Structure 1
Amino acid sequence: MRVSEKAATVLLVDDHAVVRRGLTAYLDMVDDITVVGEAKDGRDALRYLAESAVRPDVVLMDLLMPGIDGVEATSVIARDYPGVAVVVLTSFGEGERVRAALEAGASGYLLKDAEPEEVADAVRAAMRGETRLSGRVARCLTRELSAPGSGLAALTSREREILKLVAQGCSNREIAQRLTISERTARTHVSNVLAKLQLASRTQAALLAIREGLVPPPGTVE
């Protein structure tokens, strides 16, 4: 663990106990990640967040669960607990499910065939305010993403630069540091980019930048 970073605390949400146990066993061996709780479904996860004295930095969320599913739980978490990031970890990579999760506020989307270190990397990225998608999911969304009405031509040169940094996974703080501007100014630029491109999230902006060739496709999580 790098001294400059604090350990990420994680809540595991999956209706299969064996999955939770396996993730806990692995993540407990990772120095900079600590599992602070488990939940069997979305309702259980929301109860944990409401009642526990230890609020996690990141929720690893399955999608298909009885009762409150992962998408609904993610939406509530994004609304009521803005300091808590959600990374989806599921067996399903269909575009419709991915879009629903990201629109609900998920910070990442991994498939359950991901390598353990890829899951840890996604947790670390979410902790920094970045996004991680499995390679298969990213390619699927990139193909399906339709061109927004206003197009890249609506962006200023600075906003195009901001878009590239967003696509590279930079947080507002990192954008501010790279461009020597305030974090508030960086946040304003990102909001303007999303508004001009008629996009709902940083993830959609990143996928658009990849599709338009502003940045290369991610060669990371597969």
Structure 2
Amino acid sequence: MNGTGRNADKDYAVIGIVDNDPLVSKALESMFTDRPTPLRVLWNVRSGEEALRLCADAAMRPDLVLTDLRMPGMDGKELTERLLAEHPGLAVLGMSAFQLGYTAEELRTAGMGAVIRKEAGTQEYVQLIGGLLDRPKLLEWREHTLAFERMMLTDTEINVLREYLKGRTTAATARVMHMSEGTVKTHMNNAYRKMNVHSRAEAIRICVREHLL
């Protein structure tokens, strides 16, 4: 295990991603960074050689390397062996979208902490990484999807958002809803907090994209 002792109380983990498919690697990074998660992506590279080069620099060495198992040239198992030979405290999590080319015992012997399906959800990634790093706060992390946040909005907050989506100003929304501008702002600030945004533009963009209203 990595991350014990002084790192066990950390509420985040720094990771590096290795996948030769740029579309997959970008999708993975977006999954961890587009919405708030406790995973910070330090780098995202296309080959094991690039990962080795970066990890040679202590400042660029993450807590955990998330690597594809099937890659041309150096595959995930070989990368794991070479990383741990040079950096014994590093954790490695393998990813696969296909049937494994190695047995579970072969991957454990190489030093790989676990293997996850590429299509796994964000929460599964975070909690598995938390287990490998022995960080309880990551193990306890739960994904609050936008659908979940939508259920948390009150009827009044939803109605205020709906008026903003119509293009109304705060003053116009207050008149339509028969409340003060201050009350409208309070409802909007509560909605922003629940949606984890900081402006009307962000809230509208998310509502349109996710069909929240």
In the TM superposition, residue 118 of structure 1 has moved relative to its aligned partner by: 0.7
Distance 2:122 2:17 in 1: 14
**Structure 2 equivalent of residue 171 of structure 1:** none
**Structure 1 equivalent of residue 113 of structure 2:** 107
On the 8 A contact 1:13/1:59 being kept in 2, the answer is yes
On the 8 A contact 1:93/1:111 being kept in 2, the answer is no
In the TM superposition, residue 54 of structure 1 has moved relative to its aligned partner by: 2.5
**Cα deviation digits, residues 25-44 of structure 1 (max 9, x gap):** 11113432100001212111
**Structure 2 equivalent of residue 164 of structure 1:** none
In the TM superposition, residue 52 of structure 1 has moved relative to its aligned partner by: 6.0
Does residue 18 of the first structure (1) align with residue 23 of the second (2)?
Answer: yes
In the TM superposition, residue 88 of structure 1 has moved relative to its aligned partner by: 0.4
Give, as a single letter, the amino acid of the residue that structure 2 aligns with 1:10.
I
Does residue 75 of the first structure (1) align with residue 58 of the second (2)?
Answer: no
On the 8 A contact 1:64/1:70 being kept in 2, the answer is yes
Count of equivalent residues: 129
On the 8 A contact 2:67/2:76 being kept in 1, the answer is yes
SS at structure 2 position matched to 1:88: strand
> Structure 2-normalised TM-score?
0.55
Distance 1:9 1:41 in 2: 19
Larger Rg: 2
In the TM superposition, residue 93 of structure 1 has moved relative to its aligned partner by: 3.7
> Structure 1-normalised TM-score?
0.52
Seen in structure 2, the aligned counterparts of structure 1 residues 17 and 42 have a Cα distance that, compared at 3 Å, is same
Distance 1:59 1:4 in 2: 20
On the 8 A contact 2:11/2:135 being kept in 1, the answer is no
Root mean square deviation, CA, Å? 2.5
Give, as a single letter, the amino acid of the residue that structure 1 aligns with 2:37.
D
**Structure 1 equivalent of residue 55 of structure 2:** 49
Does residue 5 of the first structure (1) align with residue 10 of the second (2)?
Answer: yes
In the TM superposition, residue 126 of structure 1 has moved relative to its aligned partner by: 1.6
Matches within 5 A, 1:113-128: 113-128=119-134
Give, as a single letter, the amino acid of the residue that structure 2 aligns with 1:92.
F
SS at structure 2 position matched to 1:89: strand
In the TM superposition, residue 106 of structure 1 has moved relative to its aligned partner by: 0.5
In the TM superposition, residue 20 of structure 1 has moved relative to its aligned partner by: 1.1
**Structure 2 equivalent of residue 91 of structure 1:** 97
In the TM superposition, residue 80 of structure 1 has moved relative to its aligned partner by: 1.2
Seen in structure 2, the aligned counterparts of structure 1 residues 94 and 55 have a Cα distance that, compared at 3 Å, is closer
In the TM superposition, residue 6 of structure 1 has moved relative to its aligned partner by: 3.9
User: Percent identity at matched positions?
Assistant: 29
- Unpaired runs of 5+ residues, structure 1, are 133-222
Matches within 5 A, 1:175-214: none
- Unpaired runs of 5+ residues, structure 2, are 1-7, 140-213
On the 8 A contact 1:74/1:106 being kept in 2, the answer is yes
Seen in structure 2, the aligned counterparts of structure 1 residues 126 and 64 have a Cα distance that, compared at 3 Å, is same
**Cα deviation digits, residues 40-65 of structure 1 (max 9, x gap):** 12111111111462310011010111
Distance 2:130 2:107 in 1: 19
SS at structure 2 position matched to 1:87: strand
Give, as a single letter, the amino acid of the residue that structure 1 aligns with 2:13.
A
Distance 2:14 2:87 in 1: 15
SS at structure 2 position matched to 1:53: helix
